[in-house]
Protein backbone atom coordinates (compact mmCIF):
# COMPACT_ATOMS: atom_id res chain seq x y z
CA UNK A 1 0.00 0.00 0.00
CA UNK A 2 1.29 3.47 -0.88
CA UNK A 3 0.06 6.48 1.05
CA UNK A 4 1.05 10.09 0.47
CA UNK A 5 2.46 11.98 3.44
CA UNK A 6 1.09 15.24 4.78
CA UNK A 7 0.63 17.91 2.19
CA UNK A 8 1.79 21.40 3.12
CA UNK A 9 0.44 23.92 0.60
CA UNK A 10 3.25 25.31 -1.49
CA UNK A 11 2.02 25.41 -5.08
CA UNK A 12 4.72 23.03 -6.27
CA UNK A 13 2.40 20.18 -7.27
CA UNK A 14 4.08 17.53 -5.14
CA UNK A 15 3.80 15.85 -1.73
CA UNK A 16 6.48 16.06 0.92
CA UNK A 17 6.66 12.31 1.50
CA UNK A 18 5.35 8.91 0.50
CA UNK A 19 5.14 5.95 2.81
CA UNK A 20 5.37 2.54 1.18
CA UNK A 21 3.98 0.08 3.70
CA UNK A 22 3.91 -3.14 1.73
CA UNK A 23 5.11 -2.91 -1.86
CA UNK A 24 5.02 -6.01 -3.96
CA UNK A 25 7.59 -4.44 -6.26
CA UNK A 26 9.92 -1.43 -6.31
CA UNK A 27 11.62 -0.23 -9.51
CA UNK A 28 14.54 2.22 -9.46
CA UNK A 29 14.77 4.05 -12.78
CA UNK A 30 18.19 5.31 -13.84
CA UNK A 31 18.47 8.85 -15.15
CA UNK A 32 16.44 9.13 -18.34
CA UNK A 33 17.80 11.50 -20.95
CA UNK A 34 16.20 13.38 -23.85
CA UNK A 35 17.19 10.88 -26.52
CA UNK A 36 14.49 9.29 -28.69
CA UNK A 37 14.61 5.58 -29.59
CA UNK A 38 16.10 6.53 -32.97
CA UNK A 39 18.96 8.39 -31.22
CA UNK A 40 17.67 11.88 -32.00
CA UNK A 41 17.81 14.63 -29.38
CA UNK A 42 14.78 16.93 -29.71
CA UNK A 43 15.36 20.67 -29.97
CA UNK A 44 14.04 22.97 -27.26
CA UNK A 45 13.27 22.36 -23.62
CA UNK A 46 9.59 21.37 -24.00
CA UNK A 47 10.38 18.70 -26.59
CA UNK A 48 13.28 17.35 -24.54
CA UNK A 49 11.18 17.29 -21.37
CA UNK A 50 8.37 15.38 -23.08
CA UNK A 51 10.91 12.92 -24.53
CA UNK A 52 12.37 12.27 -21.09
CA UNK A 53 8.90 11.63 -19.66
CA UNK A 54 8.17 9.30 -22.61
CA UNK A 55 11.37 7.42 -21.77
CA UNK A 56 10.37 7.16 -18.10
CA UNK A 57 6.93 5.86 -19.15
CA UNK A 58 8.56 3.29 -21.47
CA UNK A 59 10.76 1.97 -18.65
CA UNK A 60 7.73 1.73 -16.38
CA UNK A 61 5.72 -0.08 -19.08
CA UNK A 62 8.59 -2.57 -19.45
CA UNK A 63 8.01 -3.41 -15.77
CA UNK A 64 4.21 -3.44 -16.14
CA UNK A 65 3.91 -0.17 -14.26
CA UNK A 66 2.62 3.31 -15.08
CA UNK A 67 3.41 6.92 -14.23
CA UNK A 68 0.84 6.62 -11.43
CA UNK A 69 3.21 4.15 -9.71
CA UNK A 70 5.94 6.78 -9.28
CA UNK A 71 6.71 7.52 -5.64
CA UNK A 72 9.87 9.65 -6.07
CA UNK A 73 11.08 11.76 -8.99
CA UNK A 74 14.38 13.64 -9.16
CA UNK A 75 14.76 16.09 -12.04
CA UNK A 76 18.11 17.56 -12.98
CA UNK A 77 17.84 20.82 -14.96
CA UNK A 78 20.77 22.37 -16.80
CA UNK A 79 19.41 25.89 -16.22
CA UNK A 80 17.15 27.52 -13.62
CA UNK A 81 15.31 29.22 -16.50
CA UNK A 82 13.58 25.89 -17.29
CA UNK A 83 11.96 25.39 -13.88
CA UNK A 84 8.51 26.86 -14.67
CA UNK A 85 8.22 25.01 -17.99
CA UNK A 86 9.47 21.81 -16.34
CA UNK A 87 6.85 22.13 -13.61
CA UNK A 88 4.04 22.76 -16.11
CA UNK A 89 5.00 19.77 -18.28
CA UNK A 90 5.38 17.51 -15.22
CA UNK A 91 1.85 18.44 -14.10
CA UNK A 92 0.57 17.86 -17.65
CA UNK A 93 2.18 14.41 -17.77
CA UNK A 94 1.34 13.28 -14.23
CA UNK A 95 -2.08 14.91 -13.88
CA UNK A 96 -3.28 14.66 -10.28
CA UNK A 97 -0.56 12.17 -9.32
CA UNK A 98 1.98 13.89 -7.06
CA UNK A 99 5.05 11.83 -6.13
CA UNK A 100 7.75 13.09 -3.77
CA UNK A 101 9.86 15.45 -5.85
CA UNK A 102 13.29 17.03 -6.00
CA UNK A 103 14.53 19.43 -8.68
CA UNK A 104 18.27 20.12 -8.90
CA UNK A 105 19.96 22.75 -11.06
CA UNK A 106 23.26 21.30 -12.21
CA UNK A 107 25.54 20.54 -15.10
CA UNK A 108 24.23 17.72 -17.31
CA UNK A 109 26.44 14.97 -18.75
CA UNK A 110 25.95 16.03 -22.39
CA UNK A 111 25.79 19.71 -23.35
CA UNK A 112 22.94 18.97 -25.79
CA UNK A 113 20.69 17.71 -22.97
CA UNK A 114 18.68 20.23 -20.95
CA UNK A 115 17.43 17.80 -18.30
CA UNK A 116 17.55 14.28 -16.93
CA UNK A 117 15.00 12.49 -14.70
CA UNK A 118 15.52 9.56 -12.35
CA UNK A 119 12.67 7.97 -10.45
CA UNK A 120 11.43 5.27 -8.11
CA UNK A 121 8.15 3.44 -8.66
CA UNK A 122 6.37 1.04 -6.34
CA UNK A 123 3.27 -1.07 -6.52
| pTM assigned to the model | 0.85
Looking at 3.40.190.10, 3.90.800.10, 3.30.1330.40, 3.40.50.300, the CATH number of the domain 2-122 comes to 3.30.1330.40
Whether the pLDDT of residue 118 is over 50: the answer is: yes
Instruction: Read off the pLDDT of residues 7-60 as tens digits, 9 standing for 90 and up.
Output: 555 455 566 666 777 767 899 999 999 999 999 999 999 999 999 999 999 999
Instruction: Read off the pLDDT of residues 71-86 as tens digits, 9 standing for 90 and up.
Output: 999 999 999 999 999 9
DSSP track, the chain: -EEE------SSS-BS-EEESS-S-EEEEEEE-S--TTS---SSHHHHHHHHHHHHHHHHHHTT--GGGEEEEEEEES-GGGHHHHHHHHHHHHTT---EEEEEE---SSTT--EEEEEEEE-
Amino acid sequence: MITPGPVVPDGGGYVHSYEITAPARVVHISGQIPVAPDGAVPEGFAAQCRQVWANVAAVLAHHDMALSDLVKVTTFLSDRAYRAENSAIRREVLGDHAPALTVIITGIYDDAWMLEIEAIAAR
